[in-house]
Amino acid sequence: MACLSSTALVLLLAVSLAAAEDSSSGKSAVPAPAPQPPLAPGHDKTLEVANNFSSGAPALALGTGASGAGSGVPTEPDQPIASSLLPDAPAVHKPLSGRDRFDIFLRHTYSPYTVASAVYETSWAQMWGQWYQYGGGMQGWGKRLGATLADTESRRFIQGFLLASALHQDPRYFACQENGLVSRAWYAGTRVLITRTDDGGETFNSSEVFGTLLTSSLQNAYYPRPDRGWGDTVTRFVGDLSSDATSNLLREFEPDMKRIFRRHEPGKLRQIEAKLPKPIQLMTVQ
């Protein structure tokens, strides 16, 4: 129920942001910019950023080409950077090797977001008495943290590396190529069942489904005894798939949310961002 509520909240937020953007664009009569000559495919900043966003790779400088050779078109200083983050352009698909999949797994493993998310989920579980057999205090909190990290890392390894490599499937999320809100939301939600193959085609997301089922069963080995069994395994399996659908919705619409935020960003906040080191500035617009 919580996962369904989160999905509905994401859709409602996306609709509200789209309505706010339309109303603001209608009030401000900004003259249309002069037509620009078409860019070469390798220099298309929209394709480049969409590809980096989909693959989860570190953000490249927006003035470089998709190949990262530094031969791209420079970005004007006063150009809103976030406007290049729209995910409605087709991402350039490049097949992953087994080493690439393992590097993605390692990058997520050592990511500070992984640790921060695990700490948050652990604290939330202890606050609401989840896995009460672990007890309270720092000892109980440590047990919950270990279980949470085991859930995350085992699933990423089995699903994102092991099964994805064996089945020649791409574990990355690729942005929708259509513009409609409903079509993009439907696309994002169905990516738990549909994924890309190494040759760029679409197929049943067996690595996601079977990987989730396998890790949900594996949790019976270290969860408290009252949380084990067939019923608990099915509940975790369905909940994890619903959570992934919600995460895909956030991935799909996050660039739009950032773009609208930066359009209405207060001037003082822009001044603070301008004083930040360059790598942190790139992280804020990724």
Decide if 23 contacts 57 (C-beta within 8 A).
Answer: no
Alpha-carbon dihedral of residues 180, 185, 191, 195, nearest 10 degrees? 10
Q: What are the sequence ranges of the domains in the chain?
A: 44-54+87-284
Q: Where are the alpha helices (DSSP H) in 98-180?
A: 98-109, 112-127, 137-155, 164-166
Decide if 80 contacts 262 (C-beta within 8 A).
Answer: yes
Predicted local confidence at residue 279, as pLDDT: 57
First-to-last C-alpha distance (Å) of the chain: 31
Predicted local confidence at residue 264, as pLDDT: 80
131 Ramachandran zone, left/alpha/beta (phi>0; psi -120 to 50)? left
**161 contacts: CB under 8 Å, gap ≥ 6:** 98, 101, 102, 104, 105, 171
Strands ordered across the beta sheet of 202-204 = 169-170, 194-197, 202-204
Predicted local confidence at residue 222, as pLDDT: 93
For residue 219, give the nearest of 232, 210, 206 by alpha carbon. Answer: 232
Predicted local confidence at residue 265, as pLDDT: 77
In the block, tokens 């509940």 appear at 235
What is the spatial distance between Cα 191 and Cα 188, in angstroms, rounded to a whole number? 5
Q: Collect the ranges in the chain with pLDDT lower than 50.
A: 1-7, 9-11, 15, 17-18, 20-90, 285-286
In the block, tokens 């992984």 appear at 114
Predicted local confidence at residue 236, as pLDDT: 95
**20 contacts: CB under 8 Å, gap ≥ 6:** 260
Decide if 46 contacts 89 (C-beta within 8 A).
Answer: yes
What is the spatial distance between Cα 86 and Cα 256, in angstroms, rounded to a whole number? 6
